[in-house]
């Protein structure tokens, strides 16, 4: 074969194997290899690295889309000084994602505005970037999805869906009491993920109030807590609301400016 036809054959082989990025980069990489007198293996390594980088990027984008994470919040943006009682080292340990590897759970408990969703979402981004399939939902959405699935005869499929991701984030449990069916759905999701996949759950209800959240079905609440808590990290955040804090600081600033103005 002539040099040109070897090149053409190589390009079409790469394209046939769906190695489009490598196919695109072939000419430039061949020139580079000739110019730098690269060994065959060094050339091949460079060429395949192009394809690997593009594939990784595409898969990451896919995991991002799938995750439905509602905000770009990062662990790095979390202001630990605003939550002095929160164990920073524990949060950073969670950030290593060992808990996902171990299929352990994380419970974030606290009043509104203290950063529960921020931390849950931040762990979600870490997991997505580390290659874990991650899915964010609110407890209300999960309940509504399961309700529709039950009506439309898709219960088993939906349950399989919620069993799939390596990390499932269930946000805002307890803002509304759960009807019997919703409680059953949540219970089944928790039960089937038990020891198989992680859940990060945020709630404004202390563990002692879980009975009420499940319409006083203390049995379901207890059974679910059992599975959630065995193998889990519980973070209680009882500090100030960050939003309220920022708000108060802004008000205080305006006040002191006004006072300074008045004194002058
Ligand atoms: P929660 O889920 O506990 O109600 P969020 O996580 O939604 O609270 O936090 C409310 C807002 O305040 C978000 O914009 C979040 O990014 C921000 N926030 C809360 N706590 C902190 C913090 N400690 N550092 C930085 N931002 C924070
Ligand atoms: Mg929240």
Interval 47-76 mean pLDDT: 98
CA distance 32 to 21: 16
In the chain, where the domains are located: 3-66, 75-244
Q: Backbone phi, then psi, for 74, in 5-degree steps?
A: -115, 160
Here the tokens at position 264 are 């002058």
Which uninterrupted H or E stretch holds 194? none
The response to whether residue 114 sits with its C-beta less than 6 Å from ligand 1 reads yes
**Sequence-ordered list of residues with C-beta below 8 angstroms from that of 57, at least 6 positions apart, any chain:** none
CA distance 187 to 143: 11
The response to whether residue 62 sits with its C-beta less than 6 Å from ligand 1 reads no
Above 80 in pLDDT, residue 257?
A: no
User: For residue 173, what are the β-bridge partners?
Assistant: 203
Residue-level pLDDT at 166: 98
| Index of the ligand 1 atom closest to the CA of residue 172 | 2
The response to whether residue 74 sits with its C-beta less than 6 Å from ligand 1 reads no
Please give the distance, rounded to the nearest whole angstrom, from the Cα atom of residue 107 to the centre of ligand 2: 13
User: For residue 167, what are the β-bridge partners?
Assistant: 134, 198
Above 90 in pLDDT, residue 63?
A: yes
- The whole-chain average pLDDT of the chain stands at 91
The response to whether residue 75 sits with its C-beta less than 6 Å from ligand 1 reads no
Q: pLDDT for 137-165, tens place per residue? A: 999 999 999 999 999 999 999 999 999 99
* Ligand 1 pocket, mutate which of 239, 242, 243 (most atoms under 8 A from CB): 242
- CATH class of domain segment(s) 75-244: alpha beta
pTM over 0.85: yes
Least distant ligand from the CA of 111:
1
């Amino acid at each position: 074969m002539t040099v040109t036809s070897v090149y053409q054959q190589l390009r079409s082989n790469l394209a046939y194997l769906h190695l489009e990025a490598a196919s695109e980069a072939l000419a430039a990489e061949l020139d580079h290899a000739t110019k730098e007198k690269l060994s065959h293996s060094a050339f091949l390594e460079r060429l395949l690295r192009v394809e690997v980088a593009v594939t990784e990027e595409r898969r990451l984008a896919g995991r991002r889309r799938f995750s439905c994470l509602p905000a770009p919040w990062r662990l790095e943006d979390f202001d630990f000084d605003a939550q002095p009682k929160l164990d920073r080292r524990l949060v950073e340990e969670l950030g290593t994602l060992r808990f996902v590897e171990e299929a352990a759970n994380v419970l974030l408990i606290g009043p509104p505005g203290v950063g529960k969703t921020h931390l849950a979402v931040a762990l979600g981004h870490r997991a997505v970037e580390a290659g874990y399939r991650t899915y964010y939902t609110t407890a209300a959405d999960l309940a509504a999805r399961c309700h529709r699935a039950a009506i439309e005869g898709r219960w088993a499929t939906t349950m399989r869906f919620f069993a799939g991701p390596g990390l499932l984030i269930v946000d805002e449990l307890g803002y509304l009491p759960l009807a019997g069916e919703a409680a059953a759905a949540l219970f089944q999701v928790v039960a089937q993920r038990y020891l198989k996949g992680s859940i990060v759950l945020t709630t404004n209800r202390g563990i002692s109030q879980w009975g009420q959240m499940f319409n006083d079905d203390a049995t379901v609440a207890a059974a679910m807590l059992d599975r959630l808590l065995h193998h889990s990290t519980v973070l209680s955040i009882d500090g100030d609301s960050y939003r309220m804090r920022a708000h108060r600081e802004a008000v205080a600033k305006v006040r002191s400016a006004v006072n300074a103005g008045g004194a002058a």
